[in-house]
Amino acid sequence: MKKTAAVCSILAIITVPLLFFGCGQTQGGGTTTNYTIGGKLTSLIASGMKPLATSTVTHIVAIGSNNQPYLADLSSDGTFSIKINKGYPCAIGFYNKTGSTITYLGHLVQSDVSWDSLPTMDPKTDSVDLGTVEVNSSSLEATASIDITTLIDSMKLADSTTAAYYGEIDGPMVVFTNLDIDGNGEFDFLENKYYMFSMYYNMGPGIGATTGEIAKMVSGYNDDYMPSPSSYGPNFASMNNALPSSTVFTMTAPAALINPDGTTSTTMTGTPAANSSGNFQTVFFYMGNSGISTPESVPAGTYTITAAGNTYTVKNVKGSNIVKVRSSNSIIYPVFHLVTNEAGVITTVQYKWKKVVSGAITDASAAEVKATIENTEISGATFVHTSPFIDLRTAAKSSGENIVKFDRDSTSVDVSSLGVKLSELNHIQASYNLNSRIICKFDFE
């Protein structure tokens, strides 16, 4: 977000493969689901309000952090089963659909560890039984009877401390419970429409790239490096032409974003900060070209997007408790070491993960990294952002042509095929997703 072109280069590598929907099958008949979430509602009528037609649970949907929705099988006695593809955390939303009105009744929470989602990245078995689930439409929360120790063990997290750490990052997962963003009274994914509202963080410090870092990466790791997030910017994306036609990207008046406090942000004037690739469309919102540097956290509440005469509403947005502007607590991030051969070609990028705790740098544990960092390829999902990746930029290739994914759980990646000489390197961009669709971007010179 320091540079619009730099951010756009990240989105350019998102691909559009098969879309998942319904009861566990892909549209194109591809891989079936491999994990089951089960339970039973204490009542089909949500608590917290007088019994109304709109307080009856008619639909339960699990939504992965890659925006894959999975519709549950729901019986008349309240028993439900949701078949998903594990590998991503998922939020579970409860809804009433009466005629052309969809009412959001709440989402699954676990208050002991502040979970707003289930960390189904690498669960222990092929299923979990949540026990009885009560949906409270006043608090917009659904609580399960499963013992917290049993649930943490089922999700294969190391311990309650790691589970609580995951709970600090997953607040933004609630945004995935928005399933009628265009407001036409139909579930978007059942109309083959897919929207995503994400936040990009510039990991700073400052608006420009962090200078002097590349030289330090050659001699070894810069163990003193500490990120200081300087700005963030919302991104609203769609697939399958869910946004109106290409006029979105050529319109004279920029798209507008109405924030929860009523203020308005727009795309960059002059050149609308938008991108279209096949049936994938995205619109970036900034204040100028620098991203939003205040308030410290993403404001919680409802965001309204207007584009080409259409209105899109995104409710229940929560900011991250980990990544905040000028934050110095709990941020996990990579540090790099560049290895060259006799010809000066960069052959290997070595890396390790660090964590800032109250302004002090420590080594991040393997459990913390797994609970925090999304580790994914760009395939098999509705929206996927390669995570984590490093981009070695030269004057000849400065727009994301030298991107290499590195494995979160390894310590090095072979980049010799890029043929980049250290003497040609002028910029490094690195990025990763948190397991909540918060995207963190680093720029080094």
Q: Are residues 53 and 150 in the same domain?
A: yes
Q: Are residues 34 and 103 in the same domain?
A: yes
Burial of residue 105, with CB atoms counted within 10 A of its CB: 0-12 exposed, 13-18 middle, 19 or more buried? buried
- Domain annotation covers residue 5: no
- Domain annotation covers residue 186: no
- Domain annotation covers residue 131: yes
- Chosen domain end from 257, 290, 317: 317
Instruction: Please tell me whether the peptide bond between 205 and the residue prior to it is cis, using omega within 30 degrees of 0.
Output: yes
CA 358 distance to own-chain centroid: 25
- Domain annotation covers residue 433: yes
Measured distance CA(132)–CA(110) in Å, rounded: 13
Total domains, the chain: 3
- Domain annotation covers residue 339: yes
- Chosen domain end from 290, 317, 344: 317
Q: Nearest to residue 407, comparing CAs of 379, 442, 432, 425?
A: 432
Q: What is the dihedral of CA 111, 113, 114, 120, to 10 degrees?
A: -110
Concatenated DSSP letters of 193-256: -EEEEEEEEE--SSSS-BTTHHHHHHHS--TT------EEEEEEEEETT-S-STHHHH-SSPPE
Phi/psi of residue 409, nearest 5 degrees:
-95, 5
Q: Are residues 122 and 258 in the same domain?
A: no
Q: How many Cα atoms within 13 Å fall on the side-chain side of residue 308? A: 13
Q: Are residues 123 and 34 in the same domain?
A: yes
Q: Are residues 327 and 380 in the same domain?
A: yes
Q: Are residues 222 and 125 in the same domain?
A: no
CB 99 within 8 A of CB 58: no
Q: What is the pLDDT along the chain (445 residues), one digit of tens a residue?
A: 333 333 332 222 222 222 222 333 332 233 478 999 999 999 999 998 766 768 999 999 999 998 899 999 999 999 999 999 999 999 999 999 999 999 999 999 999 999 999 999 999 999 999 999 999 999 999 999 999 999 999 999 989 999 999 999 999 999 999 999 999 999 999 988 888 888 888 887 665 567 888 999 999 998 889 888 888 888 877 766 555 544 444 434 556 778 888 877 765 433 334 444 444 555 655 444 457 788 888 889 999 888 767 788 999 999 888 888 887 788 899 999 999 999 999 999 999 999 988 889 999 999 999 999 999 876 555 777 789 999 999 988 776 789 999 999 999 999 999 999 999 999 999 999 999 989 999 999 8
Measured distance CA(375)–CA(220) in Å, rounded: 25
Tokens representing residue 421 in the block: 């000489």
Q: Are residues 311 and 378 in the same domain?
A: no
Give the distance between the most distant pair of CA atoms in the chain: 75
- Domain annotation covers residue 54: yes
Radius of gyration of the chain (CA): 22
CB 157 within 8 A of CB 367: yes
Measured distance CA(399)–CA(1) in Å, rounded: 14
CB 110 within 8 A of CB 151: yes
Q: Are residues 240 and 148 in the same domain?
A: no
- Chosen domain end from 300, 317, 334: 317
Q: Are residues 287 and 420 in the same domain?
A: no
Concatenated DSSP letters of 311-375: EEEEEEE---SS--TT--SSEEEEEEEEEE-TTSBEEEEEEEEEEEETTEEEEPPHHHHHHHB--
- Domain annotation covers residue 429: yes
- Domain annotation covers residue 78: yes
Provide the residue range defining the domain that includes 306: 191-199+230-317
Q: Specify the DSSP element, H or E, that contains 388.
A: none
Which residue spans within 118-220 are E strands per DSSP?
Answer: 127-136, 141-144, 194-202
Q: Are residues 175 and 36 in the same domain?
A: yes
Q: Are residues 297 and 369 in the same domain?
A: no
Say which amino acid occupies 145: S
Q: Are residues 216 and 258 in the same domain?
A: no
Q: Specify the DSSP element, H or E, that contains 36.
A: strand 35-41
